Amino acid sequence: AQKVTQAQTEISVVEKEDVTLDCVYETRDTTYYLFWYKQPPSGELVFLIRRNSFDEQNEISGRYSWNFQKSTSSFNFTITASQVVDSAVYFCALSEGGRSNDYKLSFGAGTTVTVRA
């Protein structure tokens, strides 16, 4: 069963527009961790944000913000005032720690973001 679903395959915006990426996850653990990674054409996965299941506080970090809602199992990510350098594939990932000792990251299929000048 797919544990992380990113329903948006591709998003194209014009520079300075906001971009919101959707992520829905599935887990039976009460302790788990959610991540967003960015993958530019170079291939390296760049860590963006991490949230644990006990912290639903939504924050803003520079142009990035996230909305974590356990009630709907969603962990959405927003880029404000997008720039061309934000063009990349964005992955949402889940790690189920807790009692299951499941250390792996389960990734979604990714959303390709294209920011046009």
Partner 1 sequence: DAGVTQSPTHLIKTRGQQVTLRCSPKSGHDTVSWYQQALGQGPQFIFQYYEEEERQRGNFPDRFSGHQFPNYSSELNVNALLLGDSALYLCASSLIANYGYTFGSGTRLTVV
Least distance to partner 1, CB of residue 19, Å: 19
Whole-angstrom distance, CA of residue 79 vs CA of residue 83: 9
SS (H, E, C) 36-61: EEEECCCCCCEEEEEEECCCCCCCEE
Which range binds partner 1 by CB under 8 A, 21-29, 55-63, 67-75, 96-104?
96-104
45 CB contacts (<8 Å, ≥6 apart)? 37, 38, 39, 91
User: Which residue lies nearer to partner 1 by CB, 15 or 30?
Assistant: 30
Binds partner 1 (CB under 8 A): choice among 54, 61, 85, 104: 104
Among 46, 60, 81, 84, binds partner 1 (CB under 8 A): 46
64 forms part of the interface with partner 1 (CB under 8 A): no
Neighbours of 96 (CB within 10 A): 22
* Interface ranges with partner 1 (CB under 8 A): 4, 33, 35, 37, 42-47, 50, 52, 91, 93, 95, 97, 101-110
